[in-house]
Chains A and B, each alone.
Chain A
Amino acid sequence: AQRVTQPEKLLSVFKGAPVELKCNYSYSGSPELFWYVQYSRQRLQLLLRHISRESIKGFTADLNKGETSFHLKKPFAQEEDSAMYYCALRRGSTLGRLYFGRGTQLTVWP
């Protein structure tokens, strides 16, 4: 079975502070991990995926297979980063099915 856990439902930081949104997963195979973001009144959209190893809007995430984690980090948070963030897993074997965590609401204060 597979499971995605986001331990923090709410996270608040001040502008310019570092931010880390935690994501842990359980899956015995080789997963693909994603971060999706939903800004206020907008649809869910892909932020980044571990296989591309890219930085989007200053965010990075590293897949740590030993700790089964895929934490999302940004060194200097901006007010426009305030949004709901979802960590998601796809089993490497098949289909496009995504398993989502419950989400973390990030608020960046000015």
Chain B
Amino acid sequence: ETGVTQSPTHLIKTRGQQVTLRCSSQSGHNTVSWYQQALGQGPQFIFQYYREEENGRGNFPPRFSGLQFPKYSSELNVNALELDDSALYLCASSRGQTDTEAFFGQGTRLTVV
């Protein structure tokens, strides 16, 4: 068991709404990354947080935002949901900024209708 947990596991939202997804990282891991995985695709990097500060961002609009809190918790917020935001959202934690191994959570399946 990797120790990375995400909540909720499934979520249905309406277009235009806002959503918050949560992640509890493995103990001792200071870095958390978020990925979006659309159906039939590999995960795509959204952003990374290191010691509670954003530390790199992928090609996602500003309505995707995040926070990292002390004690290994973090969240991904998406405003003004669009149908194309429907995907599996993965959280991954690692010990440092360039640590060799990222441990993934089981993901949150978001459906936007």
Contact = CB atoms under 8 A, between A and B. Distances in A.
Q: Do A and B come from one complex?
A: yes
Interface of A: 4, 6, 9, 32, 43-46, 49, 51, 86, 88, 94-103
Main secondary structure of the interface of B (DSSP, over half): loop
Given A51-B100, A94-B98, A96-B97, A44 B43 contact: yes
Ranked 4 nearest A-B pairs via Cβ: A100-B42, A44-B104, A95-B56, A43-B106
Interface of B: 2, 4, 31, 33, 35, 40-45, 48, 55-56, 58, 90, 92, 94, 96-107
Main secondary structure of the interface of A (DSSP, over half): loop
Nearest to B32: A96
Contacts of B58: 97
A11 B33 CA distance: 30
A96 B31 contact: yes
16 contacts: A4-B42, A9-B40, A43-B4, A43-B104, A43-B107, A44-B43, A45-B103, A49-B101, A88-B42, A96-B94, A96-B96, A96-B98, A100-B43, A100-B44, A102-B40, A102-B42
